[in-house]
Amino acid sequence: MFNKLLEVEKKFEKLSADIQAPGVANDQKSYRAMMKEYADLEKIVAAFRRYKSAEKNIEENKGLLTNEKDEDMRKLIRADLGDLEREHKNLEEELKELLIPKDPNDEKSIVLEIRAGAGGDEASLFAEELFRAYSIFASHKGWRVTLVSTSPGNVGGFKEVIATIQGEKVYSFLKFESGVHRVQRVPKTEAQGRIHTSTVTVAVLPEADEVDVHINPTDLRIDVMRASGAGGQSVNRTESAVRITHLPTGIFVACQEAKSQLDNRERAMRILYAKLLAIEEEKFRKEASDARLAQIGTGDRSERIRTYNYPQSRITDHRIGFTTHQLGEVMEGHFGLVIDPVMMHFRAEALKAQSATAS
């Protein structure tokens, strides 16, 4: 680990010099990328330098303890040595965590897609409730939720809802939500009072831009149409709805939630960029070695990740064997109750993998 940290420090010092070079700020994209890397490395280097300082002070105190004859002074030195050794140990653990390879998407905003799966109308109703819970959680975090498109269910709810969630480190918090969410409860329409099982699928895609994904304008077909749906003066009055098709892949995105065609087009392009980035990252995952896969995750949206059992007010995350009986609180937007244990689990797994690699 020490050698790796020396390499990071050397890279940080070179980057620091490069940033100050004349004309480097003229290329704003390159400059922003350099500044982001500088900020990331600075945290590691600052902790490493405190680590080295503590190590040096420990050695000096050990030398003082060997030469000191006065017992009162020896007690003071031993107390100081104990504090330094605890600080040294804490810094070592901090450095191990800082050296875990970062997901490059962690800082990004996201595209959230929720679709009703098995279970018919009940699945559509739960899709809407889950979207509402994520929206409240986003509000608590100070993030902004923007609807892109919705497809209503037969008796309410959503067959599909797509939205963007923009803010600081949104993807880092919600990336583990991708997968199949299963709900068990008695539907309002069930006269016999039998528990019904249904599912919804959640996809969390990091937002992409032109730097991440290049789209040739000639590869796009853009159709405009009148928005459909209930209410609103702009509905069915103007051709504000937009459908964009990426011809090479056949992927299409439709958006009609905004009042203007320009806004709908902008939102649809944001989703298209995210979907194309997801395809590229899926190719990368398939090509990655097992060790790399452990670091970047599977991204498998078909995996059943969680069950929401209403009769017992229980939520179980099947990936980590975690259960809480605070279902009501979670569905009122307190998603940290289930997200935080998952994040802690995968961070611990990454630390284990890091230690195994180092040894």
Whether residues 322 and 359 share a domain: the answer is yes
The CATH number that applies at residue 204 is 3.30.70.1660
> Do 133 and 274 fall within a single domain?
yes
104 located within any domain:
no
Q: Which of 138-142, 209-213, 239-243 has the lowest mean pLDDT?
A: 209-213
Please check whether residue 316 is in contact with residue 323, taking contact to mean a CB–CB distance below 8 angstroms: yes
Q: How far is CA 192 from CA 21, 117, 208, 263, 312, in A?
A: 75, 23, 48, 47, 18
* Residue 192 clears pLDDT 50, i.e. is over it: yes
Q: What is the pLDDT of residue 40?
A: 83
Does the residue 255 lie in any domain? Answer: yes
Q: Mean pLDDT of all residues in the chain?
A: 84
Query: What pLDDT is attached to residue 252?
Result: 86
Judgement on whether residues 157 and 177 belong to the same structural domain of the protein: yes
The total number of structural domains that make up the chain: 2
pLDDT of residue 238: 57
pLDDT digits (tens, 9 = 90+) for 246-265: 998 888 888 887 778 888 88
Task: Give the Cα separation of 326 and 27 in Å (integer).
Answer: 50
Tokens 């905003």 belong to which residue?
Answer: 109
More confident residue, 241 or 358: 241
User: CA-to-CA distance for 224 and 263, rounded, in angstroms?
Assistant: 12
pLDDT score of 185: 93
Structural domain ending residue among the three candidates 62, 78, 98: 98
- pLDDT reported for residue 287: 56
Q: Is pLDDT above 60 for 301?
A: no
pLDDT band at 297 (very low <50, low <70, confident <90, very high): very low
- Give the predicted TM-score (pTM) of the model: 0.69
Q: Which residues contact 109 (CB under 8 A, 6 or more apart)?
A: 143, 164, 165, 166, 167, 170, 171, 206, 207
* pLDDT per position as a tens digit, 161-173: 999 999 999 999 9
Mean pLDDT of the region 307-323: 95
Tell me how far apart the alpha carbons of residues 288 and 298 are, in angstroms, rounded to a whole number: 11
Asked which of 66, 98, 130 is the last residue of a domain, the reply is 98
How far is 313 from 324, CA to CA, in rounded Å?
8
Q: Per-residue pLDDT for 305 more than 70?
A: yes
Start-end of H helices in the chain? 2-19, 28-67, 71-98, 121-141, 170-174, 261-287, 290-296, 327-331, 336-358
User: Could you give the C-alpha distances from 211 to 25, 29, 56, in angstroms and in order?
Assistant: 18, 9, 44
The pLDDT score that the predictor gives to residue 350 is 78
What pLDDT score does 175 carry?
Answer: 92
Burial of 22 (0-12, 13-18, 19+ CB in 10 A): exposed
Residue 103, in any domain of the structure: no
* Residue-level pLDDT at 299: 40
Lowest model confidence (mean pLDDT) among 104-108, 286-290, 291-295: 291-295
DSSP 224-269: EE---SSS-TTTTTS--EEEEEETTTTEEEEE-SSSSHHHHHHHHH
Mean pLDDT value of segment 330-341: 94
pLDDT-wise least confident of 38-47, 114-123, 299-308, 325-334: 299-308
pLDDT tens for each residue of 265-291: 888 888 888 888 888 777 766 654 444
On whether residue 278 sits in a domain, the answer given is: yes
β-pairing, 179-185 with 196-206? antiparallel
Residues 194 and 327 in one domain: yes
**Does 30 share its domain with 177?**
no
94 and 185 co-located in one domain: no
Percentage above 70 pLDDT, the chain: 87
Residues 14 and 64 in one domain: yes
Tokens read off for 314: 């229980």
pLDDT in tens, 22-46: 888 788 878 888 888 888 889 889 9
Q: Is the dihedral of CA 131, 132, 135, 141 positive or negative?
A: negative
Percentage of the chain exceeding pLDDT 90: 38
Residue 73 falls inside a structural domain = yes
Domain boundary among 98, 118, 141: 98
What span, in angstroms and rounded, lies between the C-alpha atoms of 292 and 280? 16
The confidence band for 225, taking pLDDT boundaries of 50, 70 and 90, is confident
136/80 same-domain check: no
Q: Are residues 178 and 302 in the same domain?
A: yes
Q: Do residues 186 and 279 share a domain?
A: yes
- What pLDDT band is residue 158 in, cutting at 50, 70 and 90? very high
Q: What's the angle, vertex CA 169, arms to CA 164 and CA 170, rounded to 5?
A: 30
Contact indicator for 358, 339 with CB cutoff of 8 Å: no
Is residue 303 within 8 A of residue 179, CB to CB? The reply is: yes
Residue-range definition of the domain harbouring residue 329: 109-359
Radius of gyration of the chain (CA): 26
